[in-house]
Structure 1
Amino acid sequence: MPATQVIITLLGFIALLLWGIHMVQSGILRAYGSGLRRSLSRGLDNRFKAFAAGFAVTAILQSSTATGLMASSFAAGRLVDLVPALAIMLGANVGTTVIVQILSFDIGLLTPILILVGVIAFKRGGQTRTRDLGRVAIGLGLVLLSLHLLTQTVMPHDMSPQMKEVLHLLTSDPIVTMLLAAIFTWAAHASVATVLLVMSLAAAGWITPVAALAMVLGANLGSALNPVLQAMGGDREKLRVPVGNLLNRLVGCAIALPLLPYAVEWLEIVNGGPARVAANFHTAFNLALAVLFILPLPLLAMLMKKLFPTAERPLDPGAPLHLDREAIENPSVALTNAAREALRMADAAERMLRGSQTVFETGDRKLVSEISRMDDTLDTLHGAIKRYLTDVSREQLDEEQSQRLSEILAFTINLEHIGDIVDRNLMDLASKKIKRQLSFSEEGLAEIRQMHARLLEHLKLSISVFMASDLRSARQLVAEKEQFRDLEKLATERHFERLREGRSESIETTELHLDIVRDLKRIESHIAATAYPLLEQLGALRRSRLTEAKS
């Protein structure tokens, strides 16, 4: 077989191997992802439990990168100390060797069985988890199939002299061999794939045993690069765990490289098969690193904290600024603090409304995500205000203060509902518009723009009612609600007129237009609701809008 054809064939089978591993990992994550994360978080009392948790989770998931990202998020979020987080990575590194050990045995007969069972489970499975496990079985079958095809491709009789010369040049220096394997592993995002490929090449005699072990070292080194690169550009604390893990691997590779010839002799005595030698060295290397570093982890943690000190965190927009816990026993001050925090909610709701109009006009995808984050801010502030007011001593409240507390709660609830409508409804509609590349008619967009402008005016008016208890503004706000209802009715009628005229823009966007108008009306109702407590208190509301039935 010509060298070019061999290389192309190898690349195709390597891609099949990577895809099989991806299917296994994604299937397990979908089936048990949340449970694995909980299991990992429960094993963080000390470094030894953390090591066991990292090993168990990664043995199932077969992705030290995914486990490392979980550990980094735990450590950066201060849910766990840095030492157990680093211990998780030691366990994860050993856990990745499990599937390599399993696949190093001759289990090729399982290939058709796994694929058949997986397809049946994926296609016929009534439950989501059954389908996910079917995906895992298909992935394992593809891994076994790709290994078989790789072995068949790299059989010695298929190797041309040119390929022998190229491989000899690439694998003659253990350091170069290790670095090449590290680059391949970094690009593939899977140390398992590299080690399995090394086992196939070693079994076929394409590479020497020393070169095979050097490539195994490179696979371990390359897999430690991905978490570091993914953590870069964000919080510096997230680099502590992946950089600590990378440092472990670097030290281990530096120690192991000069000892590779002796390791080959020892491993061949244990089991002389080239593939088994590579698999056993992969396991032995990670076990040795775990034994070497499990005790000095506190020193490594201290070094990582010095290299990546805690950065000053920017102000969280969802963090309350005015909810002084010491003022809980003073209802007057506490209610004022809560009202000030409610104004921050109103500012966030106003930014969301302005942003939603901009999204409909410009189709800015980035702004859609920003508005969703603003809704998170609203939810956080609302929860903080609610908990704060719950702690205010009701026994010390007079009637006026009790009324004020109810007004603050009602105002914040309505603001939170406004944020939900903008985020879950309007932004969903905006995303559909962007995805489908739709455009409103000029008249339709002008109607939406006008309704947005009225809502922003009414929101400012509602803030005046909330802060000053202004009866005149409250009456105006309710009157404006009636006018907004007429505006919504007029916009709907004009839209149907454009439909009857056969306007293409209106026909394409009819569902979006009507849903937007409906949601804007719902927002108006929540804004106007600010006036009701004051009007009801002053007796300025009718009990019902219904007229008495005539006999």
Structure 2
Amino acid sequence: MVNTGVMRAFGRELGAFLKFCLKNRFQSFFGGLSVTMLLQSSTATALLTASFAGKGLVPAAAGIAIMLGADVGTTLVAQVLSFDLSFLAPVLLFVGFVRHATASSTRAKNLGRIILGLGMMLTALKLLAFASEPIRTSEISQFVLSSLSGEPVLVVILAALITIIAHSSLATVLFSLSLAATGNFPMDVAFAMVLGANLGGAVPPIMATMKADKAARRPPLGNLFCRLIIVVVMVPFVNVVGPELALLEASPARQLVNFHTMLNLACVVIFLPFVGPLGRLTERLLPDNTRADENIPTPLYLDKAALDSPQLAMANAVRDTLRMGEILENMCRNTKDAMVTGNPQLFPKIRAGDQYVDDFDRAIKNYLTKLGRESLEEEDEARCREILSFTTNLDHIGNIVVMNMTEMIESSVKNQVNFALEDQEDFVKLFDIILTNLGLALTVLMTSEPASAKNLIQRKQLFREAERKSVNNHLRRLRSNRTMDQEASAMHLSLMSDLRRINSLAAAGAYLVAGLKEH
């Protein structure tokens, strides 16, 4: 709840802060640490980082530095929660509930969600202490624990699996603290559990980005390498670190949390100077997609894990909408070529492209509908409407191209209908304007800049004038030349009407961005 509340209330600000921290590896490290302290989850920070990496904003080296900072951030959260703060739980639960129930704005409700989540965390820690009490008195559990003593590799694996299932290294560390606080828990087993929590904590970000592009998957992979190496190095020394840490603090729980922090600080000291080579290693293991992979006409970026952050989810939707627009542009170019050349091999490609556009439209709408089930900030809601409106318009354009224009052009090829040379030239000229406007429309969607939107609206008007002039010239030729093919004339006028409708749909989204009413 803390993670979700922070992402929904301050996701855009956190994203901007992470971008600001990308100047060098040290700023990236402290950026990851700070964001994780707020989100209470290194996995959430990993998803933010992966989203930016997928856009090309975060190189692999900087992403790994952010992840190292996120690892340290979770240890600082564990440091705070290792103290007995259960007396704050009722206050936080009450204040959080009142805030969430009475708030009028979405951000205020999410602040209540954050406070409620903190209260629940403190309550859960107290309940963990009560729940682990039978372990202290159970002969069977004592036998199991004593049998695990001296088997650090097995404990590390078990703790890593628990962490993967829980999707939280913090939860596993806090659980081990509650067990150690009983006083009857073997400390070598507890230290091995912390090692396993650190290893398992690197897996959820990899699982969450499995379907993302390769650039987004590199920072979590680099972080896994760092944690795996440090854990493997430390496993033989689990029996040695205990007496040394006991010199700092006698409390078993404090020894564990200090070990957790020191382990991750050591990881930073060792690997932060080498994030460059680590980044290049991940780039070799996960090379950029080949051209053939990029052209696979299926949605790639609709990551369900990003739905907790409206900003990230909408950024993902925009990326796949741009790919949808590229498919539509290819359809339009093939349609123009089919009109000029009469090549029958182009018609199946156009129809296949329309099927891909339909698939994208359906997937993007389903994705944003899931996002819309939660209340959004006014700015986010407006952006969501822009994307949905744009995808709908692209789908309508695809339907016009396939059901009207392609059918008509294919019929003209089969029936050997000959268009006048002037009509063909006008068609090509107007179609080129359409393609330019469609490209500008994609830019408007990506940037949401009012200046680009107004430029597109002006180009829409210029197209109307050019199309009106073309139709008038055609009608003038038709009146002066009674031998003109009447069927070709009717088809040409119908194609002009279709181009006019496509132009209007391409420019429709610009009115929302420019804050104008369509006319």
TM range (shorter): 0.5 to 0.7
Give distance in 2, aligned partners of 1:52 and 1:168.
Answer: 40
Question: Letter of the aligned partner of 1:176 in structure 2?
Answer: L
Counterpart mapping for 1:247-258 below 5 A:
247-258=225-236
Counterpart mapping for 1:416-495 below 5 A:
471=475, 472-473=489-490, 477=494
1:218-276, Cα deviation, whole Å (9 max, x unpaired): 11110101122233355334332211111100110012112222221122111111111
* SS of corresponding position for 1:84: helix
Correspondent of 2:354 among 351, 354, 375: 351
Q: 1:245 to 1:378 in 2, by over 3 A?
A: farther
Question: Letter of the aligned partner of 1:34 in structure 2?
Answer: R
Correspondent of 2:252 among 267, 274, 280: 274
1:261 corresponds in structure 2 to: 239
2:433 corresponds in structure 1 to: 408
Contact 1:220-1:249 within 8 A present in 2 as well: yes
Question: Letter of the aligned partner of 1:526 in structure 2?
Answer: R
Q: 1:99 to 1:339 in 2, by over 3 A?
A: same
Number of aligned residues: 383
Contact 1:94-1:286 within 8 A present in 2 as well: yes
2:478 corresponds in structure 1 to: none
Counterpart mapping for 1:189-208 below 5 A:
189-208=167-186
Question: Letter of the aligned partner of 2:262 in structure 1?
Answer: A
Matched, 1:241 2:241: no
Matched, 1:526 2:474: no
* SS of corresponding position for 1:52: helix
Q: 1:341 to 1:271 in 2, by over 3 A?
A: farther
Give distance in 1, aligned partners of 2:38 and 2:256.
Answer: 21
2:70 corresponds in structure 1 to: 92
1:102 corresponds in structure 2 to: 80
Give distance in 1, aligned partners of 2:89 and 2:135.
Answer: 25
1:162 corresponds in structure 2 to: 140
Q: 1:200 to 1:48 in 2, by over 3 A?
A: same
Task: Give the C-alpha shift of residue 103 in structure 1.
Answer: 0.9
Q: 1:286 to 1:353 in 2, by over 3 A?
A: closer
* SS of corresponding position for 1:93: helix
1:159-184, Cα deviation, whole Å (9 max, x unpaired): 21112122333454111111111000
Higher relative contact order (CA 8 A, sep 6+): 2
Question: Letter of the aligned partner of 2:226 in structure 1?
Answer: N
Task: Give the C-alpha shift of residue 99 in structure 1.
Answer: 1.7
Contact 1:355-1:367 within 8 A present in 2 as well: no
Task: Give the C-alpha shift of residue 40 in structure 1.
Answer: 0.7
2:266 corresponds in structure 1 to: 288
Counterpart mapping for 1:498-513 below 5 A:
none
Q: 1:408 to 1:219 in 2, by over 3 A?
A: same
Contact 1:156-1:206 within 8 A present in 2 as well: no
Contact 1:154-1:206 within 8 A present in 2 as well: no
* SS of corresponding position for 1:294: helix
Q: 1:409 to 1:469 in 2, by over 3 A?
A: farther
Question: Letter of the aligned partner of 2:220 in structure 1?
Answer: P
1:37-79, Cα deviation, whole Å (9 max, x unpaired): 1111111111111111111111111211121122223334322
Counterpart mapping for 1:327-346 below 5 A:
none
2:114 corresponds in structure 1 to: 136
Alignment TM-score, normalising by the size of structure 1: 0.59
Contact 1:252-1:289 within 8 A present in 2 as well: yes
* SS of corresponding position for 2:86: coil
Give distance in 1, aligned partners of 2:93 and 2:246.
Answer: 34
Matched, 1:188 2:166: yes
Task: Give the C-alpha shift of residue 298 in structure 1.
Answer: 1.6
Alignment TM-score, normalising by the size of structure 2: 0.63
Give distance in 1, aligned partners of 2:257 and 2:432.
Answer: 68
Question: Letter of the aligned partner of 2:44 in structure 1?
Answer: A
Identity %: 36
Question: Letter of the aligned partner of 2:140 in structure 1?
Answer: Q
Question: Letter of the aligned partner of 2:280 in structure 1?
Answer: M
Question: Letter of the aligned partner of 1:39 in structure 2?
Answer: F
Report the RMSD for the aligned CA atoms in angstroms. Answer: 4.7
Give distance in 1, aligned partners of 2:61 and 2:357.
Answer: 46
Give distance in 2, aligned partners of 1:350 and 1:529.
Answer: 21
Q: 1:374 to 1:278 in 2, by over 3 A?
A: same
Task: Give the C-alpha shift of residue 296 in structure 1.
Answer: 1.5
Task: Give the C-alpha shift of residue 407 in structure 1.
Answer: 9.3
Task: Give the C-alpha shift of residue 290 in structure 1.
Answer: 0.4
Question: Letter of the aligned partner of 2:22 in structure 1?
Answer: L
Q: 1:404 to 1:64 in 2, by over 3 A?
A: same
Contact 1:68-1:89 within 8 A present in 2 as well: yes
* SS of corresponding position for 2:289: coil
Task: Give the C-alpha shift of residue 101 in structure 1.
Answer: 0.9
Counterpart mapping for 1:43-58 below 5 A:
43-58=21-36
Question: Letter of the aligned partner of 1:302 in structure 2?
Answer: R
Gaps of 5+ in 1: 1-22, 324-335, 383-399, 421-462, 482-522, 531-551
Contact 2:188-2:238 within 8 A present in 1 as well: yes
1:538 corresponds in structure 2 to: none
Q: 1:35 to 1:171 in 2, by over 3 A?
A: farther
Give distance in 2, aligned partners of 1:340 and 1:373.
Answer: 30
Give distance in 1, aligned partners of 2:262 and 2:326.
Answer: 48
Q: 1:100 to 1:320 in 2, by over 3 A?
A: same
Give distance in 2, aligned partners of 1:263 and 1:98.
Answer: 20
Counterpart mapping for 1:223-234 below 5 A:
223-234=201-212
Q: 1:376 to 1:45 in 2, by over 3 A?
A: farther
Question: Letter of the aligned partner of 1:137 in structure 2?
Answer: I
1:124 corresponds in structure 2 to: 102
Contact 1:171-1:207 within 8 A present in 2 as well: no
Task: Give the C-alpha shift of residue 404 in structure 1.
Answer: 5.9
Correspondent of 1:176 among 154, 163, 176: 154
Q: 1:191 to 1:409 in 2, by over 3 A?
A: same
Give distance in 1, aligned partners of 2:389 and 2:227.
Answer: 41
Matched, 1:111 2:111: no
Q: Which one has a bigger Cα radius of gyration? A: 1
1:122-165, Cα deviation, whole Å (9 max, x unpaired): 11112222211111111111111111111123236852111212
Gaps of 5+ in 2: 296-322, 341-345, 369-386, 398-424, 446-466, 476-488, 506-519
